[in-house]
């Protein structure tokens, strides 16, 4: 008996599929038998993903901006047109924001920089839920995983918009789980810590260059119990588990995958 | 492609294996390749478990009392003696909790619940951790519940025990992460089924969960901050 929770025959929509976590999840879900609808606003990132998918994988790529409702409705409609339904939704697209807003304490953060992050990380997740849940409910159910963050469970100085947006994701998850239960839709969130990917590398570069005192004093830093960054594939493993039938009684939960950071 | 959800070659000690989550976890983990040391206070409850395990599964039935330090230490020593190593500990032992308001709860009843559901977790972790360290690491999964965040009137002992397990889980994760030991708990809500909880425990114990530690994972109950 294979230990893995097979996703054979499932139709999975993944936003932010051109990024590190979304891409690793697309590959893993395809390896486990799912057809994948990969959504990203950067077409070139989807081309790169196509080259990494396992041989024989069923893949549809859709270029869309998750902050624009017509485009959200568009990727859901494209998935339905190609594969007939949506069983799994990894509502994952997220940004850390522009450099102009990086590492700013609250009085120094512009509304535009605040809004940019909220639009993708919170509004984009809401719009995805809105359009996917309707399709899932009509088809008899499904499983959704939203990408929150350790910053959806705690605060971090100099990151108010990101923290607010990721807290919104955990809140959206609980409400969506309650509303989705009657339609056999499970909704969970993941809370990753530091990932060995583009976002963390860019972020650290900014911190090194810009961190003002006192917002960014690294002197308080203690390494987490697993003192390394996660590989994107390690996050994908949790997403695949929560999406599978092995997790049939898990809903409304936010699962940490952070090397123990939130436990500190 | 290596299937990192498998547990081939691993040895899992499971307390409370005579029924419920413990019993289902023994079945799931054995089906994924693990050898099982099944511990229960009442060994009669372990009869028949072998018939539920896949053909050829390695397993042993061990009588053990998680509230008694010598007993649980002896169980772990015997498990290691039988299988040569220990990689996984699932603390699933639990008891029924009555409903009485704090003012009407006998101290002995409170202490009994806490002894099985919290102190027992401490004792098993205390004695298995050196064995896991010796083997180069491992995974511990503790049974807890949502009462720490969402208590029910009349269940003070359960709330205290479940909160204690979350605290110990986080502490153990902090203390032993360097040694390659991951520690998580599964928080069983009112809608949790034994099979689902067992599948979650098996996931947290496998290499697929290699970056997950120090966390409480709700099942059958929505997340609460």
Cβ atoms A169, A125 nearer than 8 A: yes
Which of 3.40.50.720, 3.40.50.2300, 3.30.70.120, 3.90.700.10 is the CATH number of B11-219? 3.40.50.720
Least confident of B7-21, B29-43, B210-224: B210-224
CA distance B107 to chain A (A): 31
Q: Give dist(CA A30, CA A236) in Å, integer.
A: 12
* pLDDT higher than 70, residue B222: no
Greater confidence, A59 or A103? A59
Residues of chain A in contact with residue B176, where contact means CB-CB under 8 angstroms, are 225
Q: Give dist(CA B123, CA B102) in Å, integer.
A: 26
Residues of chain A in contact with residue B211, where contact means CB-CB under 8 angstroms, are 193, 226, 230, 234-235, 257-259
Residue A210, pLDDT score: 66
A43-100 tens-digit pLDDT? 999 999 999 999 999 999 999 999 999 999 999 999 999 999 999 999 999 998 888 8
Domain boundaries, chain A: 11-253
Query: Does B213 sit within 8 Å of A170, measured CB to CB?
Result: no
Residue A176, pLDDT score: 97
Residue B223, pLDDT score: 57
B172-192 tens-digit pLDDT? 999 999 999 999 999 999 889
Catalytic residue selected from A75, A162, A203, A221: A162
* pLDDT higher than 90, residue A200: no
Q: Give dist(CA A90, CA A82) in Å, integer.
A: 18
Domain A11-253 fold is Rossmann fold (3.40.50)
> Hey, is the C-beta of B96 within 8 angstroms of any chain A C-beta?
no
Residues of chain A in contact with residue B179, where contact means CB-CB under 8 angstroms, are none
Mutate to test the interface with A, among B5, B207, B211 (most CBs of A within 10 A): B211
Torsion angle, CA of B158/B161/B164/B169, rounded to 10 degrees?
-100
Q: How sure is the predictor about A220, in pLDDT bands with cuts at 50, 70 and 90? A: low
> Hey, is the C-beta of B190 within 8 angstroms of any chain A C-beta?
no
* pLDDT higher than 70, residue A262: yes
Residue of B nearest to A247 (CA): B196
* pLDDT higher than 90, residue B10: yes
Query: What ipTM goes with this model?
Result: 0.89
Is residue A162 among the annotated active site residues? yes
Q: How sure is the predictor about B130, in pLDDT bands with cuts at 50, 70 and 90? A: very high
Cβ atoms A55, A28 nearer than 8 A: no
């Amino acid at each position: 008996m294979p230990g893995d929770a097979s996703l054979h025959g499932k139709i999975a929509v993944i936003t932010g599929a051109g990024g590190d976590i979304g891409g690793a999840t697309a590959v893993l879900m395809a390896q486990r038998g799912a057809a994948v609808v990969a959504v990203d606003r950067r077409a070139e990132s989807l081309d790169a993903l196509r080259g990494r998918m396992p041989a024989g994988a069923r893949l549809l790529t859709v270029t869309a901006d998750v902050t624009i409702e017509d485009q959200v409705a568009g990727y859901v409609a494209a998935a339905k047109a190609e594969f007939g339904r949506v069983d799994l939704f990894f509502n994952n697209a997220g940004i850390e924001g522009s450099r102009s807003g990086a590492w700013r304490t609250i009085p120094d953060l512009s509304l535009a920089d605040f809004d940019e992050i909220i639009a993708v990380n919170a509004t984009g997740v809401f719009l995805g839920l809105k359009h996917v849940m309707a399709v899932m409910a009509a088809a008899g159910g499904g499983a959704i995983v939203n990408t929150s963050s350790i910053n959806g469970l705690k605060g971090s100085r100099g990151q108010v918009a990101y923290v607010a947006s990721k807290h919104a994701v955990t809140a959206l998850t609980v409400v969506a789980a309650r509303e989705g239960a009657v339609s056999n839709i499970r909704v969970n969130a993941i809370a990753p810590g530091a990932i060995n990917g583009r976002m963390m590398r860019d972020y650290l570069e900014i911190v090194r260059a810009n961190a003002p005192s006192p917002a960014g004093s690294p002197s308080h830093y203690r390494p987490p119990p697993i003192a390394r960054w996660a590989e994107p594939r390690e996050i994908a493993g949790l997403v695949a588990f929560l999406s599978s039938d092995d997790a049939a009684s898990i809903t409304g939960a936010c699962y940490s995958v952070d090397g123990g950071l939130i436990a500190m | 492609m290596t299937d990192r959800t498998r547990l081939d070659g691993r040895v899992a000690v499971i307390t409370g294996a005579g029924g419920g989550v413990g019993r289902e976890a023994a079945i799931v983990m054995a089906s994924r390749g693990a050898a099982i040391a099944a511990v229960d206070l009442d060994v009669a409850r372990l009869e028949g478990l072998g018939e539920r395990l896949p053909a050829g599964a390695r397993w042993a039935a061990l009588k053990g009392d998680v509230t008694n330090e010598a007993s649980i230490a002896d169980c772990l020593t015997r498990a290691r003696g039988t299988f040569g190593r220990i990689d996984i500990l699932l603390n699933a032992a639990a008891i029924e909790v009555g409903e009485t308001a704090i003012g009407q709860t006998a101290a002995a009843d409170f202490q009994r619940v806490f002894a099985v559901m919290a102190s027992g977790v401490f004792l098993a972790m205390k004695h298995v951790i050196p064995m896991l360290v010796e083997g180069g690491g491992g995974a511990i999964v503790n049974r807890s519940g949502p009462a720490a965040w969402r208590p029910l009137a009349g269940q003070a002992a359960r709330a205290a025990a479940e909160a204690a397990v979350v605290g110990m889980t986080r502490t153990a994760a902090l203390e032993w992460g360097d040694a390659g030991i991951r520690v998580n708990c599964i928080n069983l809500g009112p809608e949790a089924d034994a099979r689902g909880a067992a599948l979650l425990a098996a996931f947290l114990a496998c290499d697929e969960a290699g970056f997950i530690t120090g966390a409480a994972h709700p099942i059958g109950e929505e997340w609460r901050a």
